[in-house]
Chains A and B, each alone.
Chain A
Amino acid sequence: EAQVTQNPRYLITVTGKKLTVTCSQNMNHEYMSWYRQDPGLGLRQIYYSMNVEVTDKGDVPEGYKVSRKEKRNFPLILESPSPNQTSLYFCASSFIDRDKLFFGSGTQLSVL
């Protein structure tokens, strides 16, 4: 089944404890992206990648890192999480036409 898989689905952590949210897609998509969703703010792009070893900042990249060593994986790294990074995170991917994004089911992160 074609899908974007994020893990974990839920995560509670404490301020400053490094964490990684994994994202994997099995559709051979070149383009991958991370979004965060907050009430009243909609979906805001954190980082995106147009291909392996190519990453770019989105609208809200501060406090986040990403890597794209393989085409299928695009992990999101929070080196030192803070409470303002409590949010619902979505990974998404698409083919080269890039507009038909497929989203994962989301990761609800709480930073205490």
Chain B
Amino acid sequence: GQQLNQNPQSMFIQEGEDVSMNCTSSSIFNTWLWYKQDPGEGPVLLIALYKAGELTSNGRLTAQFGITRKDSFLNISASIPSDVGIYFCAGPVSGAGSYQLTFGKGTKLSVIP
């Protein structure tokens, strides 16, 4: 299947710092999704992006759909301890009568109080 590359794989930051992570693909995506997985839970959708260049916010989170449609970015401002978790980007891959949602390997975020 198509691969999504997330960077960085993990990061340790101080509480209050801003966070940036990205997701890239060799293929074009028409939708970019960002999920967060809290420890011990299933992933939860944070932001969905549907248009190249789109910038969408959800509280302290802001995500952007890259102009080339091959990348997306997620920023978290003024991090807090509950931001800890794994952040996944995802994109749909569809064909004749088929559909799959492909996930990146995730960025694991640790926040130091």
Provided the pairs A33-B101, A43-B103 are in contact, do residues A100 and B48 lie with their beta carbons within 8 angstroms? yes
When A and B form their complex, what is the total count of cross-chain residue pairs whose Cβ atoms lie within 8 Å? 58
Q: How many residues of B contact A (CB 8 A)?
A: 24
State which of B39-47, B55-63, B70-78 sits at the interface with chain A: B39-47
- A106 at the A/B interface (Cβ < 8 Å)? yes
* Cβ A42 vs Cβ B106 within 8 A: yes
Tell me which residues across on chain A come within 8 A of B43, comparing CB atoms.
43, 90, 101, 103
Tell me which residues across on chain B come within 8 A of A106, comparing CB atoms.
40-42
- CB 8 Å contact bits of A84-112 with B (1 = contact, 0 = none): 00000010100000111101111000000
Provided the pairs A42-B88, A42-B105, A99-B33 are in contact, do residues A58 and B41 lie with their beta carbons within 8 angstroms? no
Provided the pairs A42-B105, A99-B92 are in contact, do residues A48 and B41 lie with their beta carbons within 8 angstroms? no
Give A55 Cβ to nearest chain B Cβ, in Å: 11
Tell me which residues across on chain A come within 8 A of B42, comparing CB atoms.
4, 90, 92, 103-106
Tell me which residues across on chain B come within 8 A of A12, comparing CB atoms.
none
- CB 8 Å contact bits of B21-39 with A (1 = contact, 0 = none): 0000000000101010000
The residue that A48 contacts in the complex, of B33, B100, B103, with Cβ under 8 A, is B100
Secondary structure class of chain B's binding surface, majority of residues: strand
* Cβ B105 vs Cβ A40 within 8 A: yes
Residue of B nearest to A56 (CB): B98
Residue of B nearest to A40 (CB): B105
Provided the pairs A99-B33, A104-B42, A105-B42 are in contact, do residues A31 and B99 lie with their beta carbons within 8 angstroms? yes
Chain B residues within CB distance 8 Å of chain A = 1, 31, 33, 35, 40-45, 48, 88, 90, 92, 97-106
Pull 14 A–B residue pairs with CB atoms less than 8 Å apart, ordered by A: A31-B99, A42-B103, A42-B105, A42-B106, A43-B106, A45-B101, A48-B100, A92-B42, A98-B101, A100-B33, A100-B45, A101-B35, A104-B42, A105-B42
Chain A residues within CB distance 8 Å of chain B = 4, 31, 33, 35, 40-45, 48, 50, 56, 58-59, 90, 92, 98-101, 103-106
